[in-house]
Amino acid sequence: MKQLALPFLNENDFAAEDFCPAPSNAAAREWLARPEAWSNGRLVLWGEAGSGKTHLLHVWAKTHHAQVIEGAVLQGLIRPTGPVAVDDADLVPEPRALLHLLNAAAEDGHPVLLAARLPPARMSYKLADLTSRLRAAQAVEIRPPEDELLDMLLTRLCADRQLTLSIPVRNFLLLHLPRTPAFYREAVARLDHAAFDRGARVTRTVAAEILEDLVNGE
């Protein structure tokens, strides 16, 4: 099954009660609760797209009144005035900006949480000082989801859209969807649009069509 880029939906509300706890993210949740134990005051939270990194990052930021920075647009010299959370830390276009941020936060004793798809050892930054600081940080993986987590996620995604699926359709999706939260989010979005366009409940046939398009990158 080939990989594809999905047009993921933006999540605007990252409430703590909306996060699905599971063994696969237990280690991440435990480390987030103990910033005083982070190596050099930094934690790198990493895992595949849609695994919950951004959600946990925002929950932590709200709890600790941290500034949230989108790594993909991080540029220039920023001196934080408190805790900092950097999402997509492996996509920063200006590595020196991230290095300066880490140094400035360390000088002032502010913890820094970074979320990324890759662990520090596999980030492709060629700036030696930045690489050494990232690799010296505490790193924790959000592991692939369990069956129970995917079941919970499907239920929550459908509830968010007020989308009702029959048991045969749910079982079909749980059996055949690629086992990543990102695919689940995109599949439910497409099912919701299909139900709205057709003015009818989603059938197994419709679900199969959507799944085929999704896997084929259409």
State which CATH number among 1.10.1060, 3.40.50, 1.10.8, 1.10.246 fits the domain covering 147-215: 1.10.8
Could you give the percent of the chain with pLDDT greater than 70? Answer: 94
Residue 188 has pLDDT above 50, yes or no: yes
Q: Which CATH architecture has domain 23-141?
A: 3-Layer(aba) Sandwich (3.40)
Name residue 114's beta-bridge partners.
44, 86
**151 pLDDT above the threshold of 70:** yes
Per-residue pLDDT tens digits for 167-176: 999 999 999 9
The Cα 124–Cα 130 span in angstroms is: 11
- State phi, psi for 202 to the nearest 5 degrees: -75, 130
